[in-house]
Amino acid sequence: MATVSSYQPWKSEFSKMSDRKEPTSISCTASLPMLWKEYFRDPSQWWDNRSRKVHPGYPDFKHKGTKQCLWIDNPCTPSWVTAELSRRSMETPLPARPVICDDCTAFVVSLRACAKSKDLRKGSLIHEEILRKGLVDQCSDALITMYAKCGALVKAQELLDIHSSRNAYTWTAMITAYAQHKQARDALRCFEHMQLAGLSPDAVTFACVLNACSSVQDIDKGRKIHAEIIRQGLIGDDVVLGNALLDMYAKCGALSTAQYLLQWLPSRDVVSWNALISGYTLLGQGEQALRCFEQMQIEGFSPTSVTFTCILEACGSIGALEKGEEVFYEIAKQELFENNIVLGTATVDMFAKCGALSKAQQVFQNLPSRDVVSWNALIAGYAAQGQGNQALECFAKMQQEGISANEVTYSCILDACGSLGALDKGTEVHHEITRQNLLQTNIVLSTAVVDMYVKCGAFQSAEQVVEELPLQAVAPWNSLITGYARQGQSDQALKCFKLMIHRGINPDAVTFTGVLNACSHLGLTDEGLMHFMSMKKIYNVKPDIGHYTCMIDLFGRSGQLDKAMEVIKEMPPGEDLAVWSALLGACQKWGDVNVGKRAFEHSVELSQNDAAAYALMANIYATASLYNDAEKVEV
């Protein structure tokens, strides 16, 4: 199914920046003598790169705070500098400066070419030649960068650990590689080591680290980096760094901060808007995503394929079919579907989620190319709309076209089998999943298998799957407990719950919904109350409206309407018709006019056109022989 979870708004721009060249020009300025005097006043504030210098473009000295650079062989360097350096070297020996040989320069240039073309094999051969010539120390930075950019992260890290690079560019390449290979924690660790080494990150480094913060949703780290960026005055007109900040806040759920940042940025582009729209979409705020989309266009920014993909997902999440169709026609008008399978899949997914399955099928058939994600969008749409047979037909056609199913496909098909009661097909899919060793490590898939067996009434098979799972996860148990409760086997649901607790698996909110329902159907008022109290006090599970409704139903079935009212008083502030409807139903059963009137008043206050509430109240009056009052109850 189409998703925007992997979207990285500055990725293309960042890749360009990460390939930047080190400075190679040496300039003459009138302030150069003053800069040298500043160096001699406090050399400890400058990095001395002379012992590691492998290219004339590298500065001999670089200020740790201002990043200003000095070259000894600059033609504009005052003559007294050399004499002063010589005098000081007699007092404190300076690090030996290696001779920059032609071989070193050639190796560095070749390694950069390998890094750019991602040619790891050739880069490794050059490394072997460097080892033979004993030039590893002089070429270590280029080697680390080459391995990092080629994805050989273990080798790159090994060299970095050995040679302790003083080159910020090398560290940035390492951090970039970790981030691009979804190893965000390693990227953050590398960044910390870089700072401990006394090296100051630049805008590119910060952008990459913010990307890592986004991946693991570490907003605290992201805020610290933001503060450091402000302290160094790095944002300015750097739209890439600004977008990285915006994306970090959006992906970490701080959308108000992201929205404020968008307005505050000195310069922004369509990537900035995409980051915010993507954030709203990911957090299920489709309406807000659409408002951002409209505002972006008002400000004169043209949407890209990424924008359209996010907006289509937003439309699907809120069922905005009309807006989704409008976006679809605009995409077709711009001929963006050609060779863009992601955009095509997002369109299929939008129509499917909006229930327009014929349109989803039509778009799917017209896609220039289709992959497993495209098929999943259509299959999931049919399964979600209760059209299990069509989902199975799509699955069969997908296999005929030689497309291999993945975990998402199998989850959707198992859902379809469960809705149809297609036990034989579901069992066949289960065996295929087992053959591919997918079940043991995938909680979502294992839960789908259990759920399929439960819906097909094959509880013994469902229990066997749960028993054989190595994962101590609550979700498969929830499926089993809820399934027993829904099928009226409440005693079995409670047995499963006790066994789960015995196995050391902590229940969650879903577990307690099933357990409380089971207690309600069995009339186990005391046990139900005990579980309700334990969920709060022992398992730290905050009750939601579903749990409160279960408790009202539990007390209502046993005629304890006063206790049901006490439960309602304990509920957090909020308006929910289901609670009062449950209480009103219990009042009809027990003929309690007084509590019924209160429940009725709250119900009609929330929904004046709730016909069920009026019918229940009229029946309550009639049961109590209050016929005149019953006749007055009208919608």
Q: Which H, E and C letters describe 65-98, residue by residue?
A: CCCCEECCCCCCCCHHHHHHHHHHHHHCCCCCCC
pLDDT at residue 92, rounded to an integer: 47
* Per-residue DSSP letter, 355: T
Dist CA 342 CA 1 (whole Å): 10
User: Residues 345-385: pLDDT tens digits?
Assistant: 999 999 999 999 999 999 999 998 899 999 999 999 999 99
CB-facing half-sphere around the CA of 295: CA atoms within 13 A: 15
Block residue for tokens 């058939």? 365
Q: Is the dihedral of CA 209, 210, 214, 218 positive or negative?
A: positive
User: CB of 383 within 8 A of CB of 393?
Assistant: no
Report yes or no: 233 and 205 within 8 Å, Cβ to Cβ.
Answer: no
Cα 590 from Cα 545, distance rounded (Å): 23
Cα radius of gyration (the chain): 33
Helices first, then strands: H and E counts in the chain: 35, 3
Contacts with 161 (C-beta within 8 Å, 6 or more apart), sequence order:
none
Question: Helices marked H in 62-202 — which ranges?
Answer: 79-91, 102-117, 120-132, 136-149, 153-163, 168-180, 184-196
Structure tokens at 554: 């539990």
How long a stretch of residues is the chain? Answer: 635
CB contact at 8 A, 114 and 142: no
What would the pLDDT profile of 399-448 be if each residue is shown by its tens digit? 999 999 999 999 999 999 999 999 999 999 999 999 999 988 889 999 99
Give the predicted TM-score (pTM) of the model.
0.71
What does the pLDDT read at residue 635?
A: 52
- What is residue 11's predicted lDDT score, i.e. its pLDDT? 37
User: Could you tell me the two tokens for 111?
Assistant: 């390694």
- The predicted structure's pLDDT at residue 397: 96
pLDDT below 50 — which residues of the chain? 1-27, 92-99
Distances (CA, A) of 559 to 494, 552, 555, 564, 582: 23, 10, 6, 9, 12
Edge-first strand order for the sheet with 69-70 is: 46-48, 61-63, 69-70
**What kind and span of H or E run contains 564?**
helix 561-570
pLDDT at residue 318, as a whole number? 95
Q: What pLDDT is recorded for position 432?
A: 96
The reported pLDDT for the residue numbered 150 is 96
From first CA to last CA, the distance across the chain in angstroms is: 44
Question: Reduced to 3 states, what is the DSSP secondary structure of residue 48?
Answer: strand
Give dist(CA 225, CA 229) in Å, integer: 6
pLDDT of residue 524: 94
Q: How far apart, in whole angstroms, are the C-alpha atoms of residue 482 and residue 511?
A: 7
Contact 552, 568 (CB under 8 A): yes
Any idea what DSSP says for residue 301?
P
Q: What is the Cα–Cα distance from 318 to 311, expressed in whole angstroms?
A: 11
Helix (H, G, I), strand (E, B) or coil at 149: helix
Residues 383 and 419: their CA atoms lie apart, in Å, by 8
